[in-house]
A and B are shown apart, each in its own frame.
Chain A
């Protein structure tokens, strides 16, 4: 099973871009692909991640220019536990490794975002990035991009 996790709050503008990408991927009904969307990463996702051969996180980023899409490798050596109910992707991957001896291939697809106000729409540049982000994830899933 391959897993895509879209992260974000659809009530806060561009923060919902990870969820929007997840919805586009889910609509394709690809075999052996599980797509979930969530506001934040919670520890119980560890169990699901441990069953996946590949996991891709999709999230908005303030470190990129709006609309830029980038694949970011996830470094377990720098995993940090925040000690609460929301974790970073690396923390979940580390937990999957320690608890279930699972080490799925992983990546974070970051999408540059700029507007985080109270609205359900993506800004224009971020909305334009949606198809590119979706295609990039499909390429990652097919093994065409690493």
Chain B
């Protein structure tokens, strides 16, 4: 008879999730599932709203990555307007998106995962938290505070507030950048770069302690999707979609937002509110792909900024770089890239231009905006009627893209660490920790409204169905 082990709730992730592990008769793990148990409903209740409200409405999907939704939403609205936004507006949006990526990655690495990395997977759970980290390595904790604060301050300087800024609008941004704000941002960056480099150095130094985790933390071949620019550089704001296989072979390249429905199909699973997107041409069984910092590094040919590019080239020498454990390193490399790229953009001559917004009435009934959020490729697709009211919304969120891989990762870790019907704290923590490597954001990814299919069977040990409820 199959037994179930349930971990509920999964801790140190953004949102609420549950993991179920199914044991076979011999006590080995037969299967494991990651369930997302919350429902938001943003796709449905946006219907009927004026399209220009969408950026500020969609930003409310998440308190961690509102900027990411603002960016993708504003781009979808640009497409509805049919405008090409002023270059300086695009540059300023790019800066805000990079600051968002950096602060979110800092939260994931320093606040959510560092307790495992610093104190060990088997450490006392009462100590394996931020307080334990403060005591064990206060410098690391201070660095995390500084990096997150730097990203938040850049967002606040640009957008007026840290959370849910209303500065990004259809057609560009609402206000130009002042010299004072630019200089404040530039002044913060050298320290942020130095701290990030220290964190990369520290992370590399502890890697030998985690060889077992590296080997089974979602360490399997999958496709990877991410955005690149026309030269193949890592791109986060505006570029082409590229998909590579586990060997680095390019499977899809130079795909535009309008192509996304040819690339991705969304499957619904009965055990979770989180959909399971897959690469359409290969079908559900073989179409698993990953997105996010690790995938972006595996997809890009190079990074346009020198320090991060040097780290990327070193990363490419790592034999087990397919392991999702390396999401952590990829996050740090992307933080480094963010600071370098913000420096570059803010030092361009026209960055203080006041031409930052294009004005138009809707010129298209359908608009798609795609950008790279901290956790991966983010897609906003809107349709409007002749009055500019929303008639259809489809959102595909990074955490959704990773759903199949997260489930496979949970199973891989459980098969390695869980034996028999009794669980140790270390086993439990590793099963959760593989989810944390993806840094899933469940508030973002449970945006669809609907009824979760419920089918309960009461089955006797001999297989007889004693009772059954379905709705």
Contact = CB atoms under 8 A, between A and B. Distances in A.
Contact of B141 (A38, A42, A99): A99
B145 A83 contact: no
A85 interface: yes
A44 interface: yes
Given A44-B148, A98-B135, A84 B12 contact: yes
Contacts of B138: 98-99
Contacts of B315: none
Nearest to B14: A85
A98 B115 CA distance: 16
B145 A99 contact: yes
A44 B130 contact: no
B149 A44 contact: yes
Contacts of A42: 148
Q: How large is the interface on A (under 10, 10 to 19, 20 to 34, 35 or more residues)?
A: 20 to 34
A43 B115 contact: no
Contacts of A83: 11-12, 115, 129-131
A113 interface: no
Interface centre among A42, A91, A94 (most CB of B within 10 A): A42
Contacts of A91: 130-131
Contacts of B112: 84-85
Interface in A101-141: none
B63 A44 contact: no
A52 B301 CA distance: 46
A46 B130 contact: no
A38 B163 contact: yes
Contacts of B64: 85
A85 B144 CA distance: 12
B131 A81 contact: yes
Interface in A25-65: 38-40, 42-44, 46-48
Interface in B383-409: none
Contacts of B129: 81-83
Interface centre among B11, B107, B131, B135 (most CB of A within 10 A): B131
Given A43-B130, A44-B148, A84-B12, A99 B111 contact: no
B152 interface: yes
Contact of A46 (B63, B115, B145): B145
Nearest to B64: A85
Interface centre among B63, B145, B152 (most CB of A within 10 A): B145
A88 to B, nearest CB: 12
B439 to A, nearest CB: 12
Given A44-B148, A44-B152, A83-B115, A39 B63 contact: yes
A98 B149 CA distance: 18
A79 to B, nearest CB: 8
B146 interface: yes
Interface in B101-142: 107, 111-112, 115, 129-131, 134-135, 138, 141-142
B135 A85 contact: no
Given A81-B129, A83-B130, A99 B142 contact: yes
A25 to B, nearest CB: 17
Nearest to A11: B60
Contacts of B107: 85
A99 B163 contact: no
A5 interface: no
A85 B443 CA distance: 14
Contacts of A94: 131, 134
B131 A43 contact: no
A91 B145 CA distance: 14
A98 B112 CA distance: 19
Contacts of B141: 95, 98-99
Contacts of A84: 11-12, 111-112
B63 A43 contact: no
Interface centre among A43, A44, A98 (most CB of B within 10 A): A44
A100 B129 CA distance: 19
A43 B112 CA distance: 11
A85 B107 CA distance: 7
Contacts of A46: 145
Nearest to A98: B134
Nearest to A94: B131
A121 B395 CA distance: 31
A84 B144 CA distance: 13
Contacts of A47: 145-146, 149
Interface in B2-38: 11-12, 14
B163 A43 contact: no
Interface in A75-92: 79, 81-85, 91
A99 B146 CA distance: 12
A19 B386 CA distance: 39
A40 B11 CA distance: 18
Contacts of B131: 79, 81, 83, 91, 94
Question: Top 4 closest A-B pairs, CB basis?
Answer: A83-B129, A81-B131, A44-B149, A44-B148
26 contacts: A38-B163, A39-B63, A39-B163, A40-B63, A43-B130, A43-B145, A44-B148, A44-B149, A44-B152, A47-B149, A48-B149, A83-B11, A83-B131, A84-B12, A84-B111, A85-B14, A85-B64, A85-B107, A94-B131, A95-B134, A98-B134, A98-B138, A98-B141, A99-B134, A99-B141, A99-B145
Interface of A: 38-40, 42-44, 46-48, 79, 81-85, 91, 94-95, 98-100
Given A46-B145, A99-B138, 10 more contacts: A39-B163, A44-B148, A47-B146, A83-B129, A83-B131, A84-B11, A85-B107, A95-B141, A98-B134, A99-B145
